[in-house]
Amino acid sequence: MFEAFYSAHKDRLFGYLLRKSGNYHLAADIVQESFTRYLEQYAEREHNPALLFTIGRNLLLDHIRKHRSTTTYEDQEHGQTIDQEHVFQIREEARQVLTALEKMDEEERDILSLLASSGLSYREIAKITGNSEANIKVKIHRSRVKLKQILKGNRP
């Protein structure tokens, strides 16, 4: 039963963490850690994707926080860029989106990454990101429009 949950959500969670972090290896590590934690703490419950995404999100935020406190500004800048090794493995259109997402605010990037990857409802996304349901509608749309502006600006 857990295997089914795992196969159904591993790529989604990976997609979310990759869009949010722009870092292939970090995303892969956190997928692993997220499922392990989920299994340790919530194995007995009915499977809940929103909980899994919350765990993944928190692990990534923890990582970013720790990384920030121990590195210089320049390192952070470097950490923000999509790792080069991965760039060659993904298609052009996906690469454009990942680059555009990096130019957005953290919250906008978070919301759009959740939206594109998780299959979760507005209500669940609002809960995970700490927004009200009324507020999330507006924020989601605003983020989409902003992404459009950035992508248009990127075009040659």
Partner 1 sequence: MNDYFISMFIDNELDLDEKINFVEAVHKDKKFKEQNVELLEQEKQLQAHVGTYMDEMPIAAKKSSKRSTFKFWVPSFAGFATACVLLIGFFMLWSTPVKINEELHRFVIYQPNAGQAKIVGDFTGWSPVAMKQIGDSGYWSVSIGLPEGEHRYSYLLENGRQIADPTILAREQDDFGGENSIIKVSIAI
Binding stretches for partner 1 (CB under 8 A): 2-3, 6, 10-11, 13-15, 18-19, 24, 27-28, 31-32, 35-36, 39-40, 86, 89-91, 93-94, 96-98, 112, 115-116, 121-122, 137-138, 140-142, 144-145, 147-148, 151
Phi-psi region of 130 (alpha: psi -120 to 50; beta: other; left: phi over 0): left
**Which CB, 66 or 144, lies closer to partner 1?**
144
Q: Is the torsion defined by CA of 106, 111, 115, 118 positive or negative?
A: positive
Given the complex with partner 1, which of 7 and 70 has the nearer CB atom? 7
- The structure tokens listed for 156 are 């040659």
Q: What is the biggest distance separating any 2 CA atoms in the chain, rounded to whole angstroms? A: 52
Residue that the structure tokens 């934690």 belong to: 37
| CB 143 to partner 1: min, Å | 9
Please report how close the Cβ of residue 42 comes to partner 1 at its closest, in angstroms.
Answer: 13
